[in-house]
């Protein structure tokens, strides 16, 4: 007979807690009478007094009331709205220690979701940034209005309160400058700002993106309808105040949705795209093109993929979830052939254009799901030696895992942005593949996110 746990934490209960580690979302994790407690802002090694805020069947959430013993790695966050915004979870932790904790988050995921002997795995130190600030090349700030002033920022942590952000410390300076200028233009021209509650008003979101290497700026105004009052005036002012704005577009999203972009995009001025460079490759980025948010670290991540692949010029490579073809093209100069697929047809068109522009004749891109396309190729006698996967946060499609196990490529290189789904997928792939090594890469300093490049070799 199982005895129920008698001690239950009560809402608003105050109790002492020793923080053992960081959770996957960057919160401190401690145990009170064998119950797991998550505490945002608390750091490993700290002794804190907390107050329970939410009780769940298997764990509790709490907030810090007092820090009794402070971590030697605790630092003062640079951002004035850091604790309200929730965009960064680790600004209060010294950067070198952030890198150590991110490696630990990968280890915890493996311990939780796999039967692997984690102590025997080669899990390398996290590759960090020389300057872990001002790295994000794109910002999407919701727009609001208060007493005639135009605000732009993010919705606060667990609330629907818009936090106005003038200078985001992880955003590229040029995107901050652009957003501020556009806020002033909208205010001066008294353009109606969209209000979610009343469903009235026009401008919903300001999206700015900078080509870090090219210096070119892209401005996207997301509106609730096609008609944008004083459209020419707005465009003129943007061009005047932001001379680097090479692409100014309007995107229409009239839906009640948390998705930022709608389906229709209109050009207001300049080109439909800006240029960006990664290593020796150039890319054209249109408003809705997905592109890595931290180009500096992307180069390091893709170099790790290249090192893991160790191509000799004879291999056939599959780039599953290929997007605009970045990873595949990174490898194409050392491969016999690279084939990629993606479910977004526009991405495939971009990938084909990118490959053509760079003079690659050994690449092939098709729209579709990897788990459907790959078996057809194998059936026709085209079998890859290397499969590269870079899936979304949800991890690999179950069918794709089965396809990989059937195709039996010599190597699978898994680029992950979510340690939990990575661990679960490694466990399933473990039937035929063993983990050679894991290389965490910090793509998003000051946040709890960690990318990982894993080399899996056929047993």
Q: Which residues are catalytic?
A: 417
Compute the Cα dihedral for 153, 39, 99, 123 and give only its sign. negative
Residue 112 phi, psi (nearest 5):
-75, -40
How far is it, in rounded angstroms, from Cα 362 to Cα 377? 16
Q: Are 417 and 105 in contact, with CB atoms under 8 Å apart? A: no
Among 3, 54, 6, 57, CA closest to 27:
54
Q: Which residue has the tokens 């988050």?
A: 105
Beta bridge partners of 49: 16, 66
Task: Specify the DSSP class assigned to residue 9.
Answer: P
Residues 6+ apart with CB under 8 A from 175: 136, 137, 138, 139, 208, 209, 210
**DSSP letters spanning 383-425:** --SEEEE---TT-S-HHHHHHHHHH--SEEEEEES-HHHHHHH
Across 161-315, the runs of DSSP E, i.e. the strands, are 162-164, 203-210, 217-223, 245-252, 264-270, 273-278, 281-286
**CA-to-CA dists, residue 324 to 310, 355, 367, angstroms:** 23, 9, 11
Q: Where does residue 100 rank: exposed (0-12), middle (13-18), buried (19+ CB within 10 A)?
A: middle
């Amino acid at each position: 007979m199982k005895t129920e746990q008698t001690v239950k934490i009560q809402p608003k209960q105050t109790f002492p807690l020793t923080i053992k580690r960081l959770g996957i979302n960057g919160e401190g994790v401690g145990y009170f009478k064998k119950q797991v407690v998550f505490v945002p802002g608390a750091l490993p090694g700290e002794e804190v007094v907390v107050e329970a805020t939410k009780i769940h069947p298997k764990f509790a959430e709490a907030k810090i009331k007092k820090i009794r013993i402070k971590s030697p790695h605790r630092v003062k966050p640079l951002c004035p709205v850091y604790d309200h915004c929730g965009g960064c979870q680790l600004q209060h932790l010294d950067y070198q220690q952030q890198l150590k904790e991110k490696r630990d988050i990968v280890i915890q995921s493996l311990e939780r979701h796999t039967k692997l002997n984690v102590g025997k795995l080669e899990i390398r130190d996290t590759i960090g940034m020389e300057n872990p600030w001002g790295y994000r090349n794109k910002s999407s700030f919701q727009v609001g209005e208060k007493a005639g002033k135009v605000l732009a920022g993010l919705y606060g942590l667990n609330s629907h309160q818009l936090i106005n952000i003038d200078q985001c410390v992880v955003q590229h300076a040029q995107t901050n400058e652009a957003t501020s200028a556009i806020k002033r233009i909208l205010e001066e021209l008294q353009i109606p700002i969209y209000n979610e509650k009343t469903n009235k008003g026009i401008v919903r979101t300001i999206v700015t993106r900078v080509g870090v290497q090219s210096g070119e700026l892209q401005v996207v105004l997301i509106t609730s309808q096609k008609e944008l009052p004083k459209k020419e005036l707005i465009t003129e002012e943007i061009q005047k105040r932001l001379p680097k704005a090479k692409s100014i577009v309007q995107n229409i999203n009239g839906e009640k949705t948390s998705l930022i972009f709608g389906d229709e995009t209109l050009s207001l001025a300049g080109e439909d795209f800006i240029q960006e460079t990664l290593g020796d490759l150039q890319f054209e980025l249109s408003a809705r093109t997905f592109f890595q948010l931290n180009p500096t670290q992307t180069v390091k991540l893709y170099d790790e993929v290249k090192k893991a692949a160790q191509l000799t010029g004879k291999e056939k490579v599959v780039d599953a979830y290929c997007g605009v073809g970045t990873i595949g093209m990174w490898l194409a100069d050392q491969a016999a052939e690279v084939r990629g697929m993606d479910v977004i047809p526009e991405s495939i068109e971009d990938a084909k254009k990118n490959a053509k522009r760079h003079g690659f004749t050994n690449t092939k891109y098709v729209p579709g799901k990897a788990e459907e396309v790959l078996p057809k190729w194998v059936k026709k006698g085209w079998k890859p030696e290397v499969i590269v996967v870079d899936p979304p946060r949800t991890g690999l499609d179950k069918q794709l895992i089965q396809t990989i196990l059937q195709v039996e490529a010599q190597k699978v290189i898994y680029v992950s942005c979510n340690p939990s789904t990575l661990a679960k997928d490694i466990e399933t792939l473990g039937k035929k593949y063993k983990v050679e090594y894991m290389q965490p890469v910090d793509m998003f300093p000051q946040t709890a996110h960690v990318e990982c490049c894993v080399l899996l070799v056929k047993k």
